[in-house]
Amino acid sequence: MKIFGRKSNLAWLVLIVVLSSSSAAAACTWILWIKQEIDFIYTIGPPSFSTEWKIQEALATQEKCEQFKKVSWNIKVKQIDLDKSPGIDKVITAPNWIYTHFRPGPTVAGGGTTLTFYCLPDTIDPRK
């Protein structure tokens, strides 16, 4: 008597693949990324825009990444407030987001820097 037929072997194979892929996804490293966007509006000439992604930290779990993201955001907000330079007009913050507006000057009519904090699995590269 045959206990497992071809269909049940296929079902087991599918189940093993699904379980192994879900456990692999759960075991991934989480990366804290900071996206920095800078824009300058000059008094003469075209505006300038740039975007840069920086890896801040790699952590074992999403929960640890989210915790570290909050701490990193708080530290950065305090640094900007303490290091406020004459060139900074104002700072606007929201969870995981910081905007620094530049004071107009002789060559710069305006602009600013935006920092956005993201926790992503190591399988996702936001630069692509």
Residue 12's identity, in one-letter code, is: W
Is residue 111 in some structural domain? Answer: yes
The enclosing H or E element of 8 equals helix 6-26
Is residue 24 in some structural domain? Answer: no
* Total domains in the fold of the chain: 1
Is residue 110 in some structural domain? Answer: yes
Residues in Cβ contact with 7 at an 8 Å cutoff, skipping those fewer than 6 apart: none
Is residue 104 in some structural domain? Answer: yes
Is residue 35 in some structural domain? Answer: yes
What's the domain range around 68?
29-121
Is residue 40 in some structural domain? Answer: yes
Q: Which residues pair with 53 in a beta bridge?
A: 35
Assess contact for 23 and 29: CB atoms under 8 A: no
Q: What is the pLDDT along the chain (128 residues), one digit of tens a residue?
A: 545 455 544 343 333 433 333 444 457 999 999 999 999 999 899 999 999 999 999 999 999 999 999 999 999 998 886 666 778 888 999 999 999 998 888 888 989 999 999 999 999 999 98
Is residue 128 in some structural domain? Answer: no
Distance separating alpha carbons of residues 98 and 84, to the nearest angstrom: 14
Query: What pTM, to 2 d.p., does this model score?
Result: 0.74
